[in-house]
Structure 1
Amino acid sequence: MNPRNPLGVHALVWVGDTGPASVSTAVDKTRAAGYDLLEFSLHDSLNLDVARTRQELEAAGLQVACSRGLAMDADISSDDPAVVGRGERLLHESLAIAAGLGATHLTGALYSAFGSYARPLSTAGRANIVTVLRQLAKEAKGTGVTLGLEICNRYETNVVNTARDALRLADDIGEDNVVIHLDTYHMNIEENDMVRPVLDAGDRLGYVHVGENHRGYLGSGHLDFTSFFHALGTIGYSGPITFESFSSAVVAPGLSADLSIWRNLWNDGEDLARHARQFMTSHLTAVPA
């Protein structure tokens, strides 16, 4: 497999916010660690200077992707039109930020809030998701941004927990710039293995998060990364592969609590990121052409 998939790192490996100083730190450290792409969570978008950030990314020669989830009071999977409306506005604002940064992808739990739901997704709520994301995808086409449906575990959403769930949702949205986003951390909880979801997604796989089962150093947990990377090779995946890891060493107000980041899985983001890049490169290089 071509080891030149764009390799990315999540900004939360470096910093907990997107203020100017933190963005500069994240850009500098991402470039120094040899990555091709930097992913920003838009949980702190009010502090993000879009024009300045784009200039810094371009000067560093870095690609950029954006990710986000919604909030319970701004959730397009709700049955409440007012709540859906707030979520829809948030998504369109996020798309404008992603386009302004020159992002390749806007991805994540675009379809619901982060959190454990007390009941299954309703028929009306699912219809709201389809309507809102179809319109968002149409708007995204004019910006060159691809939308990703990140598959998250049952404790973070009740909408899509498996690749097949996401494929059905993408089919219903019906726009060709909506892709599947697999994340090995979530796959470990919800999927039967690390291969079948990749094969099921096939050429509709458009973004990948690589994270260990405990979200620490790659290779220090029990995930079968060998099979996963071989599956990526089988389908000829050439899109971004982004390392995502969280520790209480870097606190993102609000988001750290939403993701239940309660302990230090690492203290040195630079060592963690260098290790992750070498780990991913080695696995990609080992996959037969």
Structure 2
Amino acid sequence: MNKIGFNLLAWSAVVSDELMPIADRLKTIGYDGIECLIGSPDKVAYKRLGNHVRNIGMEATCVFVVGKDDNPISDAAAVRTKGLERIKWAIDRAHDMQAKVICGPFHSAHATFARRAPEDREFGWSAEVLHAAGEYAAQADITLALEALNRFECYLCNTMRQLTQLVRRVDHPNVKAMFDTHHANIEEKKFDKAIQDIAPVLAHVHISENDRGTPGDGHIDFDAVFSALADVSYSGWITIEAFSRNDPDFANSIGVWREYSTPWDIAENGLTLINQMCLKHGLDKHVTVNYVR
């Protein structure tokens, strides 16, 4: 049964008590869970937010990235070791939140380029780090759902075919993949073919419009996306990831220079879209819209 989540990056990249009332309202709107970025250093904040989310009857998932100083595909072994330790740290924080999924492009450093095409040895280094991370994640019953990014943010994995090959090379049951409609809109030829490619290892889905605003307001073909997800009997999280300039430091880091939609408009209208798409294409969603306009 699919559960529907909302990524709190629309408000803040920092895990703190300030996210609790946002989770409360998302619960009222009809969401099953929230997703937050693992990165801020306050360890206790993760436990507090995780406990709060559980207490109001929701669940949490997490998203995570690594940078050039802890890059799993660095040609320096010491940096790759730092990458593994950083991923383990993220697994610990997800465990603190009682989350069971960490998604993101932590197979390699975000926005760090080699000015050439990826090499086989880099896929090998990534797989080695991720297999060890999978062993650690298994102890907490956490799935690592790797993400392919567009060519402007990553050079190792841009497509579902590349990502599938990497996951198979990792060869660990706790290391899977995710599908993001924003990145696929840039890199894939067809949504249905991309989802068919990734289906055997698919564990998480991000619903995101072409401009990172409200899903359904842009040109993403969500009929094709949800039809394909139904065809492969996808049963994991369907989580909206949209951005704003509410957190300027985070917005600047990912090139968000304008407002697209207000976060609450994104949350309400995005949930409406997901419910409509799930009903139309036969996905077994868990929630229905229960807010009053």
- Under a length normalisation based on structure 1, what TM-score does the superposition of the two structures give? 0.93
Q: Which residue of 1 aligns with 2:266?
A: 272
Greater alpha carbon shift after TM alignment, 26-35 vs 136-145: 26-35
Dislocated runs of 4+, deviation >4 Å: none
Partner residue, 1:135: 132
Establish whether residue 93 from structure 1 lines up as the match of residue 85 from structure 2. no
CA drift of 1:120 comes to: 2.6
| 269, 276, 279: which one aligns with 1:285 | 279
State the 1:145 CA deviation: 0.4
Equivalent residue of 1:49, what SS? helix
In structure 2, what is the equivalent of residue 29 of structure 1? 25
Q: Deviations over 1:6-65 (max 9, x none)?
A: 000001123342122x22133222212211011111132436612212210111111111
The whole-number CA distance in structure 2 between the counterparts of 1:198 and 1:277 is 21
Residue 212, structure 1, aligned to residue 206, structure 2? no
For 2:252 and 2:78, locate their aligned partners in 1 and report how far apart those are by CA, in whole Å: 25
> In 2, are the aligned partners of 1:7 and 1:242 still within 8 Å (CA)?
yes
Instruction: Give CA-to-partner distance per residue, 1:93-117, whole Å, 9 cap, x none.
Output: 0011111211120110111111151
Q: 1:157-176 residue pairs with structure 2 within 5 A?
A: 157-176=154-173
Matched residues in 2 for 1:136 and 1:116: separation? 21
Letter in 1 for 2:82: R
- 56, 62, 82: which one aligns with 2:78: 82
Report the CA distance between 1:81 and its aligned residue.
Answer: 1.7
* Partner SS for 1:43: coil
Q: C-alpha separation between the residues in 2 aligned to 1:129 and 1:277?
A: 35
Alignment coverage as a number of residue pairs: 282
Task: Name the structure 1 match of 2:238.
Answer: 241
Query: How many angstroms apart in 2 are the aligned matches of 1:220 and 1:48?
Result: 38
1:231 aligns with 2:233: no
How many angstroms apart in 1 are the aligned matches of 2:257 and 2:32?
29
The answer to whether the 8 Å contact 2:16/2:46 transfers is no
**5+ residue gaps, structure 1:** none
Partner of 1:198: 195
| Root mean square deviation of aligned Cα | 1.6
Q: Distance in 2 between matches of 1:32 and 1:85?
A: 43
Kept in 1: contact 2:150–2:158 (CA 8 A): yes
> 1:44 is matched with which residue?
40
Query: Deviation at 1:156?
Result: 1.1
CA distance in 2, matches of 1:223, 1:115: 24
Long gaps (5+) in structure 2: 284-293
Q: Which amino acid aligns with 1:82?
A: A
Name the counterpart of 1:5.
2
Q: Give the equivalent residue in structure 2 for 1:151.
A: 148
> 1:103–1:113: structure 2 CA closer, same or farther, 3 Å change rule?
same
Identity, % of aligned pairs?
27
Letter in 2 for 1:103: A
Alignment-derived partner of residue 49 in structure 2: 53
Q: CA deviation at 1:80?
A: 1.2
Q: Is the 8 A contact 1:15 1:26 kept in 2?
A: no
How far the C-alpha of 1:262 sits from its partner, in A, is 1.0
Q: Secondary structure at the match of 1:106?
A: strand
Code of the residue aligned with 1:175 in structure 2: it is: H
Distance apart, 1:256 and its partner CA? 2.1
Q: Give distance in 2, aligned partners of 1:33 and 1:74.
A: 38
Report the Cα offset of residue 286 of structure 1: 0.4
Taking the aligned partners of 1:158 and 1:77, their CA distance within structure 2 comes to: 11
Q: Distance in 1 between matches of 2:252 and 2:51?
A: 31
Aligned to 2:186: 189
- TM-score when scaled to structure 2? 0.91
Deviates further, 168-177 or 107-116: 107-116
Match of 2:287 in 1: none
Q: 2:256 aligns with which of 253, 261, 268?
A: 261
